[in-house]
Amino acid sequence: MQRWLRNLFYFNQTASAIPGSIHFLKVVAEVKALERQKSNLPARLVDLRERMARDLSIPEEKLPFVGELVEVRAEETAWRGAIERVLGGFARSILVDEKHYSAVSAYLNERNIGERLVYFRTIPQTSGRSPGPNSLVRKLNMASGSFGDWVREELKHSFDFECAENLQAFRNALRAVTREGQVKHSTMRHEKNDRHSVNDRNQWVLGFDNKEKLALFKQQAVEIGGRISELEETVRKIGKEEDAQQAQMLHCQNLLNLTWNDVDVGSLLTRIDDLASRLKAEREARPDLAALNDSIRKQEDVHSKAVGKKNAEDGKGQSISADINRLKGKLEELARLWPTSDRPPAFAEQIAARYEATEKPVTLESLDYVTTLVERGLNSELRALESRLSDLRNSIVQRFADFNRLWPALAGGLDATLESADDYLAKLKRLEDDNLPAFEDRFFSLLREQSDQNLTLLTTKLDEERSAIRSRMELVNESLQTAPFNPGTHLVIETTDKAIEDVRLFRASLKESLSHSFSNDRDLAEERFKALAALVKRLASQETADKNWRNFVLDVRQHVEFVARELDEDDLEVEVYRSGAGKSGGQRQKLAATCLAAALRYQLGGQDRALPRYSTVVLDEAFDKADAEFTAMAMNIFKTFGFQMIVATPLKSVMTLEPFIGGACFVHIKDRKKSAVIPIEYDSESHRLKLTKDVRNVEETTVS
């Protein structure tokens, strides 16, 4: 006991020298907690949150710690320790949504949780003022979502500390923090808490993941484990040395307890010789003693054999008596447990057959063993029957579940359990009594008539839309033929189908759903219905991906592409424009203006050859950076397509636009608040604005 206490004292004295004074078991617990979840929070708080979430049946992500929603930006690592010191208590708090507030408050009030826990009821807050450029808040990243928004506003209200680069800035600020961890809460209250180093990463709890902290604790665990191994080896060496000392002390104690008589061998040898001489003299003086001694020895041998034989027979008798008593007791027990032993059991023949089928004959001695074999066989068969029964039950329940899933309206909220079997069987009987084949015939009739009509109508509508696009493009091309693109050339826009896999599969699905529509084969009709049901389900789905797919496959405008071809007077191809790539700036401008006018004509044109139903086009900052040639060309294109132009343009473009307009006005704005409009007279015969000579000169100078 003294040695164990001394070793424990030595271990504790040595363990106190481990860097950070962290106990190995605590470090291992932290490593396990960090591996189990992403949080940087201490294991005891995470375990408390886990227990509370499990007891209240609330997902853990609905009870986040503030530290899990905030991280220090990568470029602000130098301030990490100071920020952790300021936000340490707030980061260890749990956020509770309004709908869980009652349950959490009642739970914590009814229990002794053994920890200090702060939680916030996340009531929406008003937006605080914007933090300064050196504010602690600007050095943080917040998680997205409602909790992240609440934390952002709370930080603005309560933790808008200025990160002071020097003490002068620290003294001047209302609330501030230095890199060394000194915190100024107000003009009077200051705090410096150095119970832990400001850069002690063991105390850091902020961050969206815990990779760095996990690596830190693993490294500490490795170092402490190595130190413990060294200490254990030192303790073993000390134990061996103490064992050697104990052995030496024992030898010394034995030597200390010895007397002279214990080591005086000579006197003992002399006494032995004296006794041997006296014994020899007595034997020589009385020769009859030897014969008497031999007789005594023989009688002792005979007596010993007789006693041994008697003991053996007594043992056999006791064993036989014990067997008799055991059998009597067993017979009495069997008679008590089986009072009808005088009558054969109900399954005597089957049981007897099982006993006879065993590999060992049935005797009184082997009865227990044979009975065990029979019981094992019966238990094995019973387990097989129970397994089969369980499979059948599961199969029945699965059929009930399939019925609920495939026909929820008919299921009527029934539970897929064996207890509801009577209800399911009643529904089956009702279906049989309701003449299901007649309904089946009605179903196939509707499938053959209504579905085919609707699908045919959908297919026809899609084809008509594609034809309408081509028809309307013919009107556009007729207008393009009257609008020269280049001297002696004009544009023609061709419409071609795109090779789109989704559209091809959709058309194939329509075709498959219409296939064998006039066949009376019920199997083929069911296959058609499956294809049709899958198609209708996807068309009716409200999932984002399915809605996007539906809008795409039903919008025939996205199934075609337009290619502009430049033709000469003999309709020979001069150039093909799939885009403006590889063209000069002027060519791209001309192509864009032409295509814009054609697109407007396409969108606003009617089904006949009349002008667009809505022909007014408003252009702001029109032709601001275009030359006169392009401006005239663009105006001619829009005029050819039958559009009325309303343009807002700088003064420099007025001379170019004069031939194309029927009136003008000058707009002036003062102080970016008040604007005024001055009408300008227009000479319809000369197609010129009636401007003063000074304005005309300024205009010409600007244009030149």
Q: What is the pLDDT of residue 692?
A: 66
For residue 390, count other CB atoms closer than 10 A to its CB: 10
82 dihedral zone (left: phi>0; alpha: psi -120 to 50; beta):
alpha
Q: What is the pLDDT of residue 419?
A: 85
Residues 98, 102, 103, 108, CA torsion sign: positive
Q: What is the pLDDT of residue 586?
A: 65
Give the integer Cα–Cα distance in Å for 150 and 119.
Answer: 13
Distances in Å between the Cα of 574 and the Cα atoms of 486, 566, 570, 571 are: 11, 5, 11, 9
On whether the CB atoms of residues 567 and 490 are closer than 8 A, the answer is: yes
For residue 242, count other CB atoms closer than 10 A to its CB: 14
Q: Please give the distance of CA 523 from its chain centroid, rounded to a whole number.
A: 43
Residue 563, helix vs strand vs coil: strand
Average pLDDT by stretches of 10, the chain with 704 residues: 42 43 59 65 85 89 88 86 84 90 91 90 80 86 86 87 89 89 89 81 73 69 74 86 89 82 80 85 77 84 89 90 86 70 67 78 76 84 89 88 81 82 83 67 62 72 80 76 78 82 79 62 67 74 84 80 83 77 67 75 62 77 70 77 81 74 82 84 77 57 40
Q: In three state form, how does the secondary structure of 404-439 look?
A: HHHCHHHHCCCCCCHHHHHHHHHHHHHHHHCCHHHH
Distances in Å between the Cα of 675 and the Cα atoms of 82, 419, 646, 651, 669 are: 56, 82, 19, 17, 4
Give the integer Cα–Cα distance in Å for 430 and 96.
Answer: 52
On whether the CB atoms of residues 149 and 190 are closer than 8 A, the answer is: no
| Residue 408 exposed, middle or buried by CB count within 10 Å (0-12, 13-18, 19+) | exposed
Residue 565, helix vs strand vs coil: strand
On whether the CB atoms of residues 513 and 531 are closer than 8 A, the answer is: yes
Give the integer Cα–Cα distance in Å for 379 and 384.
Answer: 9
The CA-to-CA distance between both ends of the chain, in Å, stands at 112
Q: What is the pLDDT of residue 437?
A: 66
Give the integer Cα–Cα distance in Å for 671 and 460.
Answer: 60
**What are the backbone dihedrals phi and psi of residue 663, each rounded to the nearest 5 degrees, phi first?**
175, 160
For residue 565, count other CB atoms closer than 10 A to its CB: 16
Report which secondary-structure segment, H or E, holds 645: strand 644-648
